[in-house]
Amino acid sequence: MEKNSVSSLLTPLDNLFTTEQEREEAKRETVIDIPLTEIDDFPHHPFKVRVDENMLEMMDSVREHGVLIPAVVRPKADGKLGCGDDITVVMCYCK
């Protein structure tokens, strides 16, 4: 009998000490706070950030109301987190 076939019959320890609900929650995407210093831009992002009047208005709004919609970041090839949204630039200026 192969070693792998026996281990596939056993219940993993995580399943013994967690509920089904906890295991399902661990699979969901979550919103977390990430320091701005850990977020980098995508240099070849198709949308370029322009610091124009609309950007200045957005900065004023963020200063007054905070960020209401979270920015989406993705892992880059170099291991850093990248974001190509205008909101990232605004958050950097408004901190």
Q: How far is CA 47 from CA 2, 15, 25, 91, 93, in A?
A: 54, 44, 34, 17, 19
Range of the structural domain that residue 32 is part of: 3-94
Tens-digit pLDDT profile for residues 40-78: 777 776 767 777 888 888 888 888 988 777 777 888 888
For every residue of 45-92, DSSP letters joined together read -SSPP--SHHHHHHHHHHHHH---SPPP-EE-TTSSEE---HHHHHHH
Give 94's pLDDT tier (boundaries 50, 70, 90).
Answer: low
Q: Is 5 helix (H, G, I), strand (E, B) or coil?
A: helix
Tens-digit pLDDT profile for residues 1-39: 455 677 677 777 777 888 889 888 888 887 778 887 888
The confidence score (pLDDT) of residue 27 equals 86
Q: How many domains does the chain have?
A: 1
